[in-house]
Structure formats: structure tokens, C-alpha cells
A and B are shown apart, each in its own frame.
Chain A
Amino acid sequence: MAILKTVESKFFQTEIPYKPMGKYVHFLTIRITESYPLFQTDAELNKARVRAGVKDKTTISRLSMFKRKQSTPERLVGRELLRNYGLMTAEECEYNVNFAMDNPDCIIYGFAIGDSGSEKSKVVVDTAFSITAFDESHETFTLNAPYENGTMASKGENGSKPGEVTSRINQQDHIRPQVFFPSIVTLKDPTEASFLYVFNNILRTRHYGAQTTRTGRVRNELIGVVFADGEITSNLRWTQTIYDQMKSNNTINPPDPLDEDDVITAAKNAIEALMADEFIVHTDFIGDAFVSLINEVKTLTGSEKGIQAILQKADAEAKDYAKKHISKKKTTAKAGKE
């Protein structure tokens, strides 16, 4: 029985197929930093040199948010919920350590275990690029680690000399608040439950980037979903089109942060223009058409009954899929281990 009323059931698979069947749903999100997150690998923020816009061909450095830095926190949110509602235990499935291979997280987001096989992810996320250039989107902070009294001067702790100033000091670049990352999350062959599972994960994830800093607050502003029979435009092209629009409207005024309303308007216009160029079959829920859908989803995921129903359905589908297509291999793989 269908859970959603605002989306026709023809956009969904009735069960998780074992082969790609060419149904796609694309979640269009703008990821907005609300604090000072860190996306870095080699002690330096990730950035990419690309053209500013499609029309404006000057190259600029943009901050970038790698795919896994987006999908991992979203996966972990879903896993947390599965455990909370008793559909998975920490012992039977541990992320990147020991995948149980039969729950929604494993089946929808995929796994790879050397000798037990691999499940391809049905969720594909691409690197997201900031609309504004790197120079105006980051700040350098000095970090210190003060003593108990809150100062950097020693009172003689741990045999140090009283009055000595500690050298526990460091510098670190952070991404500023109100930096915007347009990002499309693609889900292949969605069932209604897997669509809602991924949708909920995107809506609920609040922190991205380095976990130890406690500063990675990011809000996902969903501006629409597109059901299609193939891939749609890239994050880069979308970002560049938004940039062109905002530039021609004079709404990019560094060093001021971008205005969120301007960004959302430009993002909607840009994606509508880009979707008009695609030569695939697609049904777009953007703007007014999206309001009733997101409200319905939020009502569902906002109640214990609603979220439980989604998780249970997703879990049942994953178990069903695993039983049909994985379980035989799994037992042989297990038997092969020492």
C-alpha cells in the first residue's frame, strides 16, 4: 500500500530490483553552512579551480565538498534511526567494519567486502562546489588549548614553569557560515520506502565535515525532486548557472555573504532552465509542486508512527532483497572464513 499521496506510484519500483532498471530520483538540495565547518584532507580545505559560470568563463577557486563527506553523515543518521527503532543492532552491523548486508543502509547505500562481495550503491552523490569563491568563503582561526584557569600562562601544571606561556597554538582555515553548496543526490531505482529513507536522511543530517571540531553545522534546504529515466545535470553546471544568474542580478556582493532568498530563487530558475535542456523523460517537483510533497514527507518523518512505518518497510524490502539475491553467497562467504 502506498504511503505517499503526492507522488504517483509509477515513479517507484515495487521491490528493490537486482539489476539497474533505469528509474532515477534526484534530490535537489542547497547545503548551507550555519557555522564553521571543515572539509579537508591534507590539513588544508578542499578546493577546486573551475570556471566561475557557464557564461562567465573566468576561473576561480571554489570550496568543494567531496561526495563521501556528504553521503557518510547522511548514512550514519539513517543507521542511528535503525538502531533506535530496534531494526538493527550495533553488533550485527558496523559501518565500514562489518556490514550485515541485509538492512536498508547496506542495500541502499552499498558496501564492499573483499571476499563476501559488494553491493553497488543506489545513492550517488557528487562533489559540491561553493557558489562564492574560496577567498570570500573562508576564515583563518587561531586555535589554542588553554589551561584550567582559561589562560595560556602556566601555573606550574605537570611540572611546567609557572608563568610560562604554552605553545599549544595552531592555525586552521574554516568555511564561513552562509556559504552555499548546491548538491544533487541521486537515488537509483527507488522504492517508495527507500525514497523516503534517503529523503529523511538528507532532511535530518545537520553536521558534515570534521566531527571533532563540533562546528560543522550545515542545513539542507531542499528545493525539489526530479523523477527521471536517466542522469540530470551536474552540481558544477548547476552552481555555475546559479552564479551567472546571481551575477547578472547583482546579488553577489563580496565580502557580504549571499542572501539565502536570492540563492534559492536563482537555484530554482537555474535548475528549471537546465532541465529544459535535458533530453530525457522527467517529472519535476520544483517550486509550488514541491511544497505539498515536502510537507507530506515532513509530517510522515516527524511522527514516531510515520518514521517507524518507513523504516520497517525499508527494512522489510532490504531483507527480502538480501534473501533473494545475497543470502546464499553470504553463507558460503562466511563458511570460507576461518
Chain B
Amino acid sequence: MVFIYHCQIELHDSLYYATREIGRLYETEPIIHNYALCYALGLVDSQIYSTTVAEEHSYRYFCPEQVPKYEEHLTPLNQQEIYVTPARSLNHCSILNTWKYANNNYHVEMEKTQKNIPSFGRAKEIAAESRFEFFVISQKELKLPKWIRLGKWMSKAEVTVEPLPKPKIAEGIFTCTHPLNPLDVMFTNQVISYDVVNMPPVSLIQNVKMQGQYYQFDGIQNLKIPVRIEYRFRS
């Protein structure tokens, strides 16, 4: 039995992550990657969801190196058959903020840094009260947290979860209006056309026309979610 949840996020603080960097301008695209959402929702390395990972990859306060471990962290979600789609904006505003590192001195002086790390820059952020939506597909009933933190500044956001009616499976050529992670769908469905949203680590696609099986729901037109999506890292 499959459970599909329609989730909405309302930002309660401005949200920032660098979708792209243009010199000292860091821009936040109003789309939240599904990898990021898995971490934010607390689905990674969790006893509650039975997704604990091997000790050497476990999520810790101290990180000796800045190397992401998506494969090690997200594979347990596949085993539990939990999948989170990327989130798209329902309505949003952007704001520009300048940030800099504070320092301890009683006078202000811009010192040269030894390393090539900028100490100030401008960030285009998504404003508070912007709203996003995404879907969670699971073989078990899930209880998700109400408050999560997103982005580089760990901005607080409220999650509301609405279980969708029992889905029906259809097959054919369909358009998924919701953004998708191409790696997670292209091995099980034939992707025909799409628009790319450039972002690391895996660019997303939207307005996807594809062939294959999809979920649809009574009373909800236009909502078609491909069946058999899971996290994939190598073919």
C-alpha cells in the first residue's frame, strides 16, 4: 500500500542557499532540492524511520571534511521505500542581503584572507512567508516534523502535511508539472522532453513529458507523479 503526502512549506525566515554563484552574488533559486529536503525533514540517519547509516558515514556535529555522502545517506531511504520529490514555489518573493564575517577587533578593517574564501558577499534570498510544495511517497505511514530548518542559515519553516487519497496507477505519455530529479526517474521512465533547472549536485528538470506508469488521484486533475521513483546514483 502506497501513501502519498502532499506537503507544503511556509518559510518563517528568509531562506538562502547558493544555487549559483556569480562573483560575489549568491543566488537562491526558488526550488528546493529533494536531497536537501530529506535532510531537513530528518529522514536521513534516523532511528524513527529506520534509516540509520553505517557508523563511519553517520551524521555528526563535527565534520572533518566537506564531502557530501548522498549515496550512503539516501540509500537506506530506498530500502524503507521513502521518496521525497523536490519542492517548487507556490508563491515567493526575493530579497537581497549583504553578509560578512564579523571579527573580534574594536575597529573595522578588511584584512586579506590567506585562503580563497570570500568574507563578504551579497545573497539573493527567498523571503519569509514564501510557500513551497512537494510530495512524499512512502510504503508506510509517516509522521513528519512540523518545524524544519532549511538552507545555509538554517531558516525555520513550517511543514503542513495532507495525505492524498488512494492513488490509481495509469500508464502512457504524461506531463509531470512538478519538478523532478532526473537521476531518480530516467531509469524507470522514458523522459521525452523537459526544462532544466541548473543546480548542484544534480540539476533538476521540470515540465517533464515522459512515458511510463504514473499515479493519479480522484478529484485532483493534472497531478501525475511517476511510479517507482527512487534515489539513484549510478546506472
Seen from chain A, the residues whose Cβ lies within 8 Å of a Cβ on chain B are 17-20, 41-42, 46, 48-51, 66-68, 72, 76, 79, 94-97, 114, 117-120, 122, 124, 126-127, 211-212, 230-237, 278-280, 325-326, 329, 333
Contacts and interface: CB of A to CB of B under 8 A. Distances in A.
Nearest to B157: A234
Nearest to A72: B102
B147 A67 contact: no
Contact of A19 (B60, B103, B156): B60
A114 B97 CA distance: 23
A18 B62 contact: yes
Nearest to A47: B95
A41 B127 contact: no
B158 A118 contact: no
Given A42-B96, A127-B128, A236 B62 contact: no
B12 A236 contact: yes
Interface stretch (B63-71, B133-141, B214-222): B63-71
A118 B63 CA distance: 5
A304 to B, nearest CB: 24
B12 A234 contact: yes
A230 B145 contact: yes
B129 interface: yes
Contacts of A234: 12-13, 147, 156, 158
A33 B127 CA distance: 24
B147 A124 contact: no
Contact of B61 (A50, A72, A96, A120): A120
A231 B102 contact: no
Contacts of A279: 146
A325 B12 CA distance: 34
Given A41-B98, A48-B14, A124-B149, A119 B62 contact: yes
Interface of B: 12-14, 58-66, 93, 95-99, 101-104, 106, 108, 115, 117, 127-129, 145-149, 153-156, 158
B66 A118 contact: yes
Contacts of B158: 234, 237
A231 B149 contact: yes
Contacts of B60: 18-19, 325
A96 B97 contact: no
Given A114-B115, A234-B158, A237-B12, A50 B103 contact: no
Nearest to A93: B104
B108 A212 contact: yes
Given A67-B153, A234-B156, A236-B12, 20 more contacts: A18-B62, A20-B59, A41-B97, A41-B98, A42-B96, A48-B127, A48-B128, A51-B129, A68-B99, A95-B104, A114-B115, A124-B149, A126-B12, A126-B13, A126-B155, A230-B145, A232-B147, A234-B158, A235-B156, A329-B64
